[in-house]
């Protein structure tokens, strides 16, 4: 019989060192793996059972360290880190590559007409709204009215931005017009993410000490978390929306695509997918998911509250969301 696995492995933290970009990249390559979408409900529940039992000090007979980490990453891919609830399928980070490659590919292909711009920007912002809500930080619920207001505002802002930019590029070279979707997506991320997470900006997100003990809720931490997510999302979109237009612009001048124009969309989607497979985990890895900030940078009332509990504490931690 192999020796029993010790109950001292810290699976509340990622397997790799999150203080380095390489460690965060390895972590997010696992979290964003699209194959996790194909796992059955039974597999997800088994992973949850293994993880929760292990955290409670119960080690399943025959469980190996690799199996434990595999269960942890299956669990992380499907269950919210703060609430523990199963996340909406299309809102999970493992859905980012297949969903974004389809939507972004179509945005880059069908950008010439106003109805197409309207439709694909609406689809993209609807998807982003689901992702932003699903991967929010904290465990406080958002009301349906708040959710509806944020969704309508964000989608309207994205569509208006896209149409405004499209009108400005009418008389510019065709290659410039191809970058309208990226500019609109970048601007929309600056609108959509803060709106979908407005409750965090108003009431704050949980901040903890290094051991996960909750110390309070901070709006300063929420601002930092949302800023980091906006930067990551824009970075995530950049290669997928900047590289394929250049390649497609060259290909469309050749006889092959003129002879087979129906291959335009599949080619565009494939190029976007290739970029996203790498851009998604690498841009998620720009900042640690368990982010930190000095106690001195918190708002005065939260800082004073923490100082009363622990006068020597220098750093607090929070889940920035994805």
Report, as an integer, the average pLDDT of 18-38.
88
Asked if pLDDT for residue 258 goes beyond 60, the answer is: yes
- Work out the number of other CB atoms within 10 angstroms of the CB of residue 154: 24
- Axis-axis angle for helices 114-134, 180-196 (nearest 10): 40
- Work out the number of other CB atoms within 10 angstroms of the CB of residue 278: 14
Asked if pLDDT for residue 158 goes beyond 80, the answer is: no
Asked if pLDDT for residue 202 goes beyond 50, the answer is: yes
- Of the spans 140-154, 192-206, 258-272, which averages the highest pLDDT? 192-206
Q: What would the two tokens of residue 273 be?
A: 């997918």
Report, as an integer, the average pLDDT of 88-109.
82
- Picking from 182, 178, 128, 174, the residue whose alpha carbon sits closest to that of residue 154 is 128
DSSP designation for 254: S
Half-sphere exposure of 116 (CA within 13 A, CB side): 14
DSSP designation for 205: E
Q: For tokens 């493992």, name the residue.
A: 94
Q: What's the pLDDT score for residue 243?
A: 81
In angstroms, the CA 189 to CA 155 distance is: 10
- Picking from 227, 183, 201, 196, the residue whose alpha carbon sits closest to that of residue 126 is 196
**Under 8 Å CB-to-CB from 288, ≥6 apart: which residues?**
18, 19, 24, 320
**Under 8 Å CB-to-CB from 130, ≥6 apart: which residues?**
88, 90, 91
In angstroms, the CA 189 to CA 187 distance is: 5
Residues 37, 92: contact at Cβ < 8 Å? yes
Report, as an integer, the average pLDDT of 132-149.
70
Asked if pLDDT for residue 20 goes beyond 50, the answer is: yes
Percent of the chain with pLDDT over 90: 1
**Under 8 Å CB-to-CB from 212, ≥6 apart: which residues?**
12, 317
Q: What pLDDT digit, counting tens, does each position of 223-255 carry? A: 899 999 889 888 887 887 778 777 777 777 777
Going by pLDDT thresholds of 50, 70 and 90, the confidence category of residue 174 is: low
Q: What would the two tokens of residue 174 be?
A: 């065709």
Mean pLDDT lowest among 192-196, 216-220, 223-227, 282-286: 192-196
Q: What's the pLDDT score for residue 170?
A: 66
Residue 316 DSSP SS3: strand
Query: Which stretches of the chain are DSSP H helices?
Result: 21-31, 41-55, 65-78, 96-109, 114-134, 144-168, 174-177, 180-196, 198-203, 219-251, 255-259, 264-284, 300-309
**Under 8 Å CB-to-CB from 314, ≥6 apart: which residues?**
294, 295
- Of the spans 114-123, 187-196, 249-258, which averages the highest pLDDT? 114-123
Q: What's the pLDDT score for residue 1?
A: 44
In angstroms, the CA 241 to CA 21 distance is: 23
Going by pLDDT thresholds of 50, 70 and 90, the confidence category of residue 139 is: low
Distances (CA, A) of 219 to 200, 304, 318: 7, 14, 11
């Amino acid at each position: 019989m192999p020796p029993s696995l010790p109950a001292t492995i810290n699976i509340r933290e990622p397997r790799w060192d999150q203080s380095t970009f390489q460690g965060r990249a390895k972590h997010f390559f696992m979290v964003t793996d699209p194959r996790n979408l194909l796992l059955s409900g039974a597999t997800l529940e088994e992973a949850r059972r293994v993880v929760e039992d292990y955290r409670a000090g119960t080690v399943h007979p025959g469980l190996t360290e690799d199996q434990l980490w595999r269960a942890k990453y299956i669990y992380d891919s499907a269950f919210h880190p703060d609430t523990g609830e199963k996340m909406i399928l299309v809102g999970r980070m493992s859905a980012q590559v297949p969903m974004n490659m389809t939507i972004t590919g179509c945005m880059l292909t069908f950008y010439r007409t106003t109805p197409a711009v309207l439709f694909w920007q609406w689809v993209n912002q609807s998807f982003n709204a689901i992702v932003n809500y699903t991967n929010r930080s904290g465990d406080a619920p958002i009301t349906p009215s708040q959710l509806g207001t944020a969704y309508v505002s964000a989608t309207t802002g994205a569509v208006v931005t896209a149409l405004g930019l499209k009108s400005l590029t009418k008389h510019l070279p065709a290659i410039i017009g191809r970058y309208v979707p990226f500019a609109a997506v970048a601007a929309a991320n600056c609108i959509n993410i803060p709106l979908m997470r407005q409750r965090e900006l108003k009431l704050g997100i949980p901040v903890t000490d290094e051991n996960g003990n909750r110390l309070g809720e901070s709006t300063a931490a929420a601002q930092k978390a949302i800023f980091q997510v906006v930067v990551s999302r824009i970075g995530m979109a950049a290669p997928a929306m900047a590289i394929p237009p250049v390649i497609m612009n060259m290909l469309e001048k050749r006889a092959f695509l003129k002879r087979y124009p129906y291959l335009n969309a599949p080619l565009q989607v494939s190029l976007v997918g290739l970029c996203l497979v790498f851009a998604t985990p690498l841009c998620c890895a720009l900042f640690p998911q368990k982010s930190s900030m000095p106690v001195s940078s918190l708002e005065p009332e939260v800082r004073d509250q923490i100082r009363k509990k622990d006068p020597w504490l220098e750093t607090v931690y929070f889940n920035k969301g994805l």
